[in-house]
Amino acid sequence: MQTISFSSDLPVKADEILATLTMHGVNAELRPLIRMTAPKAYSGRSILDWSEQQKLFDCWILLFGFLPIDRHSFYFDVIDEHEGFSEHSTSWTNKYWKHDRRVASQESGCRVVDTVRYKSRIPLMDLLLKPAYRLVFWLRHRNLRAKYGGQAT
């Protein structure tokens, strides 16, 4: 099992960051490297309004927004409107994927922490994918800081 984690202190309220938890907001964080698709029923809805404890849908992971590189099945263990979410999903590449996003209020704004644990379907591929996943989450946090200001922690 591999783990990566990134955190940023942002000078905005936690509620403002939690309000961006939509597929549009996720894709804004991921661009220009990755884009994720979603059915119309989910694309405009806040993740905070999605269901827990059931498979929601499958989506394409598109490199540079157009090249399919993986197929991901969404499943949320917990969605907390005040703190974030725990997504536990699978994909063609990974038999285990757990992404926790925590958004915590601070005196000067909020701290956003993304932690990912994953296990690939092919032995040793975990180690090959780690730099790519680190790049994706580094980019997400860089895009958050570019939009709101703040710093990596």
Residues 6+ apart with CB under 8 A from 23: 36, 38, 42, 43, 44, 47
5-51 pLDDT, tens digit per residue, is: 999 999 999 999 999 999 999 999 999 999 999 999 998 899 999 99
For residue 143, give its domain range: 2-152
Which pLDDT belongs to residue 15?
94
Q: How many domains does the chain have?
A: 1
pTM assigned to the model: 0.94
Which pLDDT belongs to residue 43?
87
Domain harbouring 22, CATH code: 3.30.530.20
pLDDT exceeding 70 applies to what percent of the chain? Answer: 100
Which pLDDT belongs to residue 123?
84
Average pLDDT over residues 73-101: 95
pLDDT at 115 over 90: yes
Mean pLDDT for the chain overall:
95
